[in-house]
Amino acid sequence: MELQAVLMAAGGGSRMMDLTYNTRKPLLPVGNKPLIWYPLNLLERVGFEEVIVITTKEVQKMISTDPKMKLDVKMKLDIVCIQEDADMGTADALRHIQQKIKTDILVVSCDLITDAALHEVVDLFRAHNATLSMLMSKAHEFTETVPGQKGKKKTGEQRDFVGVDGTGKRLLFMANEADLDKGLVIRKSIMRKLPRMHIKTGLVDAHLYCLKKSVVDFLADNKSVSSIRGELVPYLVRKQFSKSMTSPNVNDEADQKLKKKDGNANLEIQILSRDEVLLQLTRERSCWNDHRGDMSEAYHGVRLRCYVHIMDEGMCYRVNTLAAYIEANRLAPKLFDEPAVHPSAAISVRCLIGADSIIGASCQISDKASIKRSMIGASTTVREKVKVTNSIIMHGVTIEEGCNIQGSVICSNTVIGRGADIKYCLVGSAQRIEPEAERTNEVIVGTDQLMEI
């Protein structure tokens, strides 16, 4: 086994609270499948047979009991639960499962929906004996209107600056605009070694990382690092260019411990794997080099290397906002070829269902209903003369006669009263919309949910 897969599925979905209030993020239905299915499927497609899933008790329970959440994957899932209120970051979670990690790892986030060729990332990892390789993609513009959001979203968001070398593979620099108040500062020594740096903005980090096992060991010794994306990756990227042994204060002690343990000098992050000696020899004897222009050895003798694969085309979404969720629902069905209408759904002959819609199991669609570009969850009842356009209807929803639903998200177990007209709304779960209601651009959630905000 070359790589162990780790799926991070304990996130709360804090950026789309309205959606995740009742349904945990990993279980949000996308194309009538729970979100977590997508990364699992991705792993399965490339041949993983086992995956460690880090998640919460609640999600585990739902997966194992609720038939709607049944993950139809053949891989062996090793589910590790962490406490929800422990406020653990992704790096904390890795530290938590350190005992299970025997090889290098592939970490995937549960909100990743992509058709990326995973081997590109892994190949970089292999080819350069990298410490870290990751996946990024060009950011997509979200075209759909987002319910409850007035006007266009502010574009003044802070951009991430990603610096890669001339080949576009080696990751040299990573910072958020917010941290660059003094301007972008690069050491000249880096520019001397790698004289051509591309600085890219407008990339999405897919949160998919190949990491050396030594990094997990490093985490075990450095309790202060709690997030992979926020702390570990920037740290590794920065570390590429410091040959110095003196470590920053954070891991002074850990470093000392490591040194004692091994007596080796370069153990800040122990990247020397066992075959490093052979590799070294190979590199010396071959004429291969990763760069040209100066006469120095490959990688300039740098042992810690970070790489990134940037997708030029294809689909790569992180479902962590409402807009991304809607977009993913629109595109996700293209990822699998199952019948759009579940065989167990009871569909009247006299209704109109667009080819780009999905109907879940045990649905009831009555006469003269019209469903276009929408997703209808399992056990949902759609009565006569209902029009559903561009919407996401989750499980167990009842839509009474003559409703018109457009561009909205209706969460599970909600009942929409007769003749209601709902446009661009987000309706929380187990809500009851009165008949003949006319709602536009609203977020309709229960009062308990409002209290919390």
Partner 1 sequence: PHPSTGGGGIAPLTEQEEEEQPLQAVLVADSFNRRFFPISKDQPRALLPLGNVAMIDYTLEFLTSTGVQETFVFCCWMSNKIKDHLLKSKWCRPTSPNVVHIITSDLYRSLGDVLRDVDAKNLVRNDFILVYGDVVSNIDVSQALQEHRHRRKVDKNISVMTMVFKESSPGHKSRCEEDDVIVAMDSKSKRVLHYQKTQGLKKLQFPMNIFQHGSDEFEIRHDLLDCHISICSPQVAELFTDNFDYQTRNDFVRGILVNEEILGNQIHLYVTQDGYGARVSNLQMYDSVSSDMVRRWVYPLTPEANFTDQQGQGCTHSRHNVYRGAEVSLGHGSQMEENVLIGRDTSIGANCHISNSVIGNNCTIGDNVVLDRAHMWNNVHISSNVEIHQSVVCDGAVVKEAVHLNKQCVLAYNVVIGPNLSLPDGTVVSMHHPEEEEEDDDDEFLSDDQEVGHSKDKTRQKAFNPAEVGPEGKGYIWKASMNDTEDEELAQCLWGLVLNPDPESDSESEASEESQDRSRSVSPEIDDVNAFQLEVLGTLQRGLEENIVCDNLVLEINSLKYAYNITLKEVMQILTRVVLEYPFQQQGTQLTTLQYTGSLLPLLKTWSPVFKNYIKRAQDHLDCLSAVEELFLEQDTHQTAMVKVLMKMYQLEILEEEAILKWFSTGATNDKSRQLRKNQGKQRMSLQRKESEEDESSEEGE
Site string for partner 1, 162-181 (x = CB under 8 A): -x-------------x--xx
Instruction: Give the whole-angstrom CA distance, residue 377 versus residue 338.
Output: 15
Nearer to partner 1, 152 or 188 (CB): 188
> What's 413-428 look like in SS3?
CCEECCCCEEECCEEC
Q: Does 197 bind partner 1 (CB under 8 A)?
A: yes
Give residue for tokens 């599925």. Answer: 9
Contact range with partner 1 by CB under 8 A, out of 91-99, 124-132, 246-254, 393-401: 246-254
Of 200, 135, 192, the C-alpha closest to 162 is 200
Residue 151 in tokens:
């006007």
CB of 242 to partner 1, least distance (A): 5
Distance, in Å, from the CA atom of 180 to the CA atom of 197, rounded to the nearest integer, reads 17
Residue type, 63: I
Task: Pick the binder of partner 1 from 15, 96, 140, 200 (CB under 8 A).
Answer: 200
Task: Provide the β-strand partners of residue 349.
Answer: none
Quote the least distance from Cβ 178 to partner 1, whole Å. 11
- Find the Cα–Cα–Cα–Cα dihedral 249, 255, 256, 260, rounded to 10°: 180
Residue 241 lies near partner 1 (rule: CB under 8 A)? yes
How far apart CA 221 and CA 236 sit, in angstroms, is: 15
Among residues 64 and 176, whose Cβ is nearest to partner 1?
176
Give 142 or 241: the residue with its C-beta nearer to partner 1: 241
Torsion of CA 424, 425, 429, 432, to 10 degrees: -120
* The one among 161, 298, 430, 440 contacting partner 1 by CB under 8 A: 161
Q: Which stretch binds partner 1 (CB under 8 A): 185-193, 205-213, 222-230, 278-286?
A: 185-193
Q: What whole-number distance in Å separates Cα of residue 47 and Cα of residue 45?
A: 5
Chosen residue from 229, 238, 368, 373 binding partner 1 by CB under 8 A: 238
Tokens encoding 342: 């579940």
Which of the stretches 191-199, 329-337, 400-408, 437-445 binds partner 1 when contact is defined by CB under 8 A?
A: 191-199
How would you classify the pairing of strands 104-109 and 29-30?
unpaired
**Number of residues this chain uses to bind partner 1 (CB under 8 A):** 35
Q: Does 199 bind partner 1 (CB under 8 A)?
A: yes
Amino acid at 425: C
Residues numbered 281-300 forming contacts with partner 1, rule: CB under 8 A: 292-294
Residues at the contact surface with partner 1, assessed by CB under 8 A: 159, 161, 163, 177, 180-189, 191-192, 195-202, 238, 241-244, 246, 248-249, 292-294
